[in-house]
């Protein structure tokens, strides 16, 4: 499992996890598209925005491997802001190639692309 050095482990000041420390002994947790509803809590929306900001700062529009990125957090963005590049896509592969869909991410989380950095 590739560890993305320099990627924040969590949303600053919260317990919203962005990375995992070690591989799951039972195997990788599957990344599955989760529906975001309009009534999601503001804290959850901030976590999504923070994760998109971290992806943008770390990878830009370049492909990246899943590695130690948190499956739960990726699942909230999969198929929208984060797209799969592998065909077929294996949702339980730490080496799965992903990419930030910058156009979609900018529409969904415009503040994530501000130069202000972490709040």
Question: Is the distance from CB of 19 to CB of 70 less than 8 angstroms?
Answer: yes
* Closest to 83 (Cα-Cα) out of 101, 104, 65, 106: 101
Q: How many Å apart are CA 56 and CA 90, to the nearest integer?
A: 23
One digit per residue, pLDDT tens: the chain, 119 residues?
Answer: 889 989 999 888 888 999 988 877 888 899 999 998 888 898 899 999 999 999 999 999 999 999 999 999 999 999 999 999 999 999 999 999 999 999 999 999 999 998 755 54
> What is this structure's pTM?
0.89
- How far is Cα 88 from Cα 49, in angstroms, rounded to an integer? 28
Q: Sketch the domain layout of the chain as residue ranges.
A: 1-17+32-110
């Amino acid at each position: 499992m590739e560890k993305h050095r320099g990627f924040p482990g969590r949303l600053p000041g919260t317990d919203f996890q962005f990375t995992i420390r070690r591989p799951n002994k039972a195997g990788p947790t599957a990344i599955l598209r989760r529906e975001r509803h309009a009534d999601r809590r503001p804290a959850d929306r901030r976590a999504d925005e923070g994760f998109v900001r971290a992806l943008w700062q770390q990878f830009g529009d370049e492909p990246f491997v899943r590695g130690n990125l948190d499956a739960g957090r990726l699942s909230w963005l999969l198929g929208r802001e984060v797209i799969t590049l592998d065909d077929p896509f294996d949702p339980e592969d730490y080496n799965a190639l992903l990419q930030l869909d910058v156009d979609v991410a900018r529409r969904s989380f415009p503040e994530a692309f501000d130069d202000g950095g972490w709040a």
